[in-house]
Amino acid sequence: MSFRITSLSENQPIDWKAHHVPASALDHHGAADIHHGVELKLGILGDMVRIREARASDVNGIRAVHRAAFGDEGPIVADLALALIADESAKPILVLVAESEQGVVGSIIFSSVHMPGSEYGPSYILAPLAVAPEIQRMGVGSQLIESGLTVLRERGAELVFVLGDPRYYGRFGFNTGHKVCAPYDLPYPEAWMCLSLGEVVPERVNGQLVCAESLNRPEHW
Walk along the chain (221 residues) and give the pLDDT tens digit of each residue: 322 222 232 333 222 233 334 333 443 332 223 344 555 555 444 568 999 999 999 999 999 999 999 999 999 999 999 999 999 999 999 999 999 988 999 999 999 999 998 888 999 999 999 999 999 999 999 999 999 999 999 999 999 999 999 999 999 999 999 999 999 999 999 999 999 999 888 888 899 999 999 999 999 99
Cross-strand bridge partners of residue 126: 110, 162
Per-residue pLDDT at 29: 31
Per-residue pLDDT at 202: 80
CA 18/CA 81 separation, integer angstroms: 18
Q: Which domain holds residue 40?
A: 3-220
Which DSSP letter does residue 175 get? B
45-64 pLDDT, tens digit per residue, is 456 899 999 999 999 999 99
Please give the order of strands across the beta sheet that includes 159-163.
3-8, 35-42, 47-53, 94-100, 103-113, 123-131, 159-163, 192-196
Per-residue pLDDT at 203: 84
CA 182/CA 26 separation, integer angstroms: 26
Number of structural domains the chain divides into: 1
Per-residue pLDDT at 42: 54
The CATH number covering residue 184 comes to 3.40.630.30
